[in-house]
Amino acid sequence: MGTLLDASVLIAVEQGLLKADRVFGAPDRRQQPVAIAAITASEMLYGLHRLAGVRRVGAERFAGRWLEVLPVIPFDLEVARVYATLGVRLARTGTPIGAHDLMVAATAVHLGYRVATLDRRSFHRIEGLAVEYW
């Protein structure tokens, strides 16, 4: 099973709270794919465009390195179908989550991947989604 990284993981690496080698897993998991959803790339880019000066230069370097090594999974029609299914199910049970987290979850479900995150508020609400809290 592959791993889809939530933005919270990449932010924690940038802040020095997680080691970058953790992203690619323990030796027994290094052959498993690791990727990010298109919305996660968007969140990273949005965040760096809000910065100025030295902080922006560092953030651009950081984001650029990750975007070079991590595949970015597009939000296509198949992922959109999963998004709609999950979103309606969550709304019916009165447990909706934010649109960005739902996009990450839908991408992971579509791929059959787990989500790696530090966020304990949203992903656990999605039945059948494997979530790994870092």
Q: Tell me the residue range of the domain where 71 lies.
A: 3-133
CB within 8 A of 115, min separation 6: which ones?
3, 4, 5, 6, 104, 105, 108, 123, 129, 130, 131, 132
Q: What is the pLDDT of residues 86-111, one digit of tens each?
A: 999 999 999 999 999 999 999 999 99
Percent of the chain at pLDDT > 90 equals: 75
**Taking residues 2-14, what's their average pLDDT?**
94
Q: Tell me, what's the pLDDT at 8?
A: 95
The pLDDT-based confidence of 33 (bands split at 50, 70, 90) is very high
Q: Tell me, what's the pLDDT at 58?
A: 87
Among candidate residues 73, 98, 74, 68, the one with its CA nearest the CA of residue 86 = 98
Number of domains in the chain: 1
DSSP-H helix ranges across 7-133 = 7-14, 20-23, 38-49, 53-69, 77-92, 99-111
* pLDDT higher at 17 or 31: 17
* CATH number for position 68: 3.40.50.1010
What pTM was computed for the model? 0.92
The structure tokens listed for 27 are 């030796």
**Taking residues 18-28, what's their average pLDDT?**
73
**Taking residues 107-125, what's their average pLDDT?**
97
